[in-house]
Amino acid sequence: MHFCLWVDDMARTYDPAKYAANPEKFAAYGKKYREKHKEKERLRHKIYKQNNKDKHAEGERRRRARKRNSGFEYYSLEQVLEKYGIICYLCNKEIDLKASRRVGRLGWEKGLHIDHVIQISKGGPDTLENVRPTHGLCNLERNSIYMVQLG
């Protein structure tokens, strides 16, 4: 099966079998391309990050877990809510799923945050079993208490 990709306004075909047969060749080509087009790649990454904040955050969590060798698995927000419900595990009150999840926006305090029971920075894995739904404010207060204990 071939896929059509648009690169630099030109259609290019992508054959997964061809890539699988020689991944080093394609990795070297990608590295060379990124080095040659640093500014273009930096801008592309910045735009992607702005348009896909949730995906970018997921990738950052996985990167931190891999860096600490604590493990990770792919899970979705829907899986977290299905498994644990919409009750904040810290204060046992219902989470407002319509409230903003971004700190500083109106109502963010009661909005949904996903908290790691054992923080990644303390060796906890980024897995479905190690996350729970919380209010935004409960999550930040828990983390600020943790930071004060460290200091």
Neighbours of 8 (CB within 10 A): 7
Question: What confidence score (pLDDT) does residue 132 get?
Answer: 96
Instruction: Point out the least confidently predicted range of 23-27, 128-132, 134-138.
Output: 23-27
92 with 44, same domain?
no
Residue 148 confidence class, pLDDT cut points 50, 70, 90? very low
Q: Residue 105: inside a domain, yes or no? A: yes
pLDDT bracket for residue 14 (50, 70, 90): low
User: 44 and 81 share a domain?
Assistant: no
Q: At which residue do the structure tokens 């498994």 appear? A: 83
> What pLDDT, on the 0 to 100 scale, is given for residue 7?
53
Instruction: With cut-offs at 50, 70 and 90, classify the pLDDT of residue 59.
Output: confident
Q: Given CA atoms 106, 75, 118, 151 in this order, what sign does their dihedral have?
A: negative
pLDDT tens, position by position, 48-57: 888 887 777 8
Task: Determine, yes or no, domain membership for 113.
Answer: yes
Higher pLDDT, 12 or 134: 134
pLDDT for res 149: 46
Residues 42 and 95 in one domain: no
E-assigned strand segments in the chain: 3-7, 10-14, 112-116, 131-135
- 43 located within any domain: yes
In-domain check, residue 127 = yes
Give the range of the structural domain holding residue 35, as residue numbers without chain letter. 1-51
- Which pLDDT does position 64 carry in this prediction? 85
Asked whether residue 66 is domain-assigned, the answer is no
Closest-CA residue to 103 (of 94, 113, 95): 113
Q: Are residues 86 and 141 in the same domain?
A: yes
Q: What is the pLDDT of residues 83-116, one digit of tens each?
A: 999 999 999 999 999 998 888 889 999 999 999 9
Q: Is residue 61 part of a domain?
A: no
Based on the fold, state whether residues 47 and 80 are members of the same structural domain: no
Same domain, 77 and 149: yes
Would you say residue 59 lies in a domain? Answer: no
Q: Quick one: which H or E segment has residue 46?
A: helix 38-51
Select the more confidently predicted residue: 120 or 16: 120
Number of domains the chain is built from: 2
Give the span between the Cα atoms of 28 and 34, in whole angstroms: 10
Residue found under tokens 């259609």: 11
Confidence band of 142 (pLDDT split at 50, 70, 90): confident
- 47 and 79 in a single domain? The answer is no
Say yes or no: 46 and 77 in one domain.
Answer: no
Buried b (16+ CB within 10 A) or exposed e, 97-116: eebbbeeeeeebbbbbbbbb
Q: Both tokens of residue 95? A: 């989470």
> Which tokens hold the place of 31?
């590295």
Question: Beta-strand (E) ranges in 44-111?
Answer: none
